[in-house]
Structure 1
Amino acid sequence: MIPYQPIAAPHAALARRNPVAKVAAALVVSVALIATVDPVAPAVAIGFELAVVPLFGVRYTELARRAWPLLLSALGILCTLVLFAAERTGSLLWLVGPVEITTGVLATALGMALRVIAVALPGVLVFATTDPTDLTDALIQNVKASPRFAIGALAAFRLVPLLGLEWRMLTLARRARGVDAGRNPLARLRLFGSTGFALLVGAIRRGTRLATAMDARGFDSGTPRTSARRQRFTAADAALILGAVALAGGALAVSVALGTFRPLVG
Structure 2
Amino acid sequence: MTSTDQLSSTPPGFLARLNPVTPFLASILFTTPLLTTIDWGSALIGIGFTVLLILAARVSIMSVLRRTWPILFAAPFAGLSILLYGEPGGTIYWQWWIARISDQSIDLALGMSLRVLAIGVPTLVMVAGIEATRLADSLALVLKLPARFVLGALAGFRLFAVFVEDWTSLTQARRARGLGDDGKLRGFFTMAFALLVLALRRGGHLATAMEARAFGGGPRSWARSSRLGAIDWTFMAVALGAGIACIVMAMLMGTYHLVGSGFDQAI
TM-score (ref. length: structure 2): 0.82
Deviates more, 1:107-116 or 1:64-73: 107-116
The answer on 1:215 being equivalent to 2:188 is: no
Task: Decide whether aligned partners of structure 1 residues 164 and 105 sit closer, same or farther in structure 2, where only a CA change above 3 A counts.
Answer: farther
Kindly provide the amino acid, as one letter, of the partner of residue 139 in structure 1. L
The answer on 1:6 being equivalent to 2:2 is: no
Cα displacement string for residues 103-140 of structure 1 (whole angstroms, at most 9, x for unaligned residues): 21122122222222222223312321421111111111
Task: Decide whether aligned partners of structure 1 residues 82 and 193 sit closer, same or farther in structure 2, where only a CA change above 3 A counts.
Answer: farther
Q: In the alignment, what sits opposite 2:92?
A: 92
Quote the Cα distance in structure 2 between the aligned partners of 1:27 and 1:13: 19
Q: In the alignment, what sits opposite 1:225?
A: 220
The answer on 1:58 being equivalent to 2:53 is: no
1:1-266 matches, within 5 Å, as: 2-3=4-5, 4-9=7-12, 12-83=13-84, 85-95=85-95, 99-167=99-167, 176-177=178-179, 178-181=181-184, 188=185, 196=192, 199-222=195-218, 224-266=219-261
Quote the Cα distance in structure 2 between the aligned partners of 1:214 and 1:17: 30
Quote the Cα distance in structure 2 between the aligned partners of 1:90 and 1:193: 50
Kindly provide the amino acid, as one letter, of the partner of residue 246 in structure 1. G
Task: Decide whether aligned partners of structure 1 residues 52 and 106 sit closer, same or farther in structure 2, where only a CA change above 3 A counts.
Answer: same
Aligned residues of 1:56 and 1:125 also touching (Cα < 8 A): no
RMSD (Å), alpha carbons: 2.7
C-alpha displacement of 1:14:
2.9
| Unmatched segments (≥5 aa) in structure 2 | 262-267
Task: Decide whether aligned partners of structure 1 residues 71 and 198 sit closer, same or farther in structure 2, where only a CA change above 3 A counts.
Answer: farther
Aligned residues of 1:39 and 1:110 also touching (Cα < 8 A): yes
Aligned residues of 1:78 and 1:113 also touching (Cα < 8 A): yes
Task: Decide whether aligned partners of structure 1 residues 5 and 82 sit closer, same or farther in structure 2, where only a CA change above 3 A counts.
Answer: same
Aligned residues of 1:88 and 1:101 also touching (Cα < 8 A): yes
Task: Decide whether aligned partners of structure 1 residues 173 and 179 sit closer, same or farther in structure 2, where only a CA change above 3 A counts.
Answer: farther
C-alpha displacement of 1:202:
4.4
- Percent identity of paired positions between Structure 1 and Structure 2: 33
Kindly provide the amino acid, as one letter, of the partner of residue 218 in structure 1. A
Cα displacement string for residues 32-74 of structure 1 (whole angstroms, at most 9, x for unaligned residues): 2211111221221111112111333421211111110111121
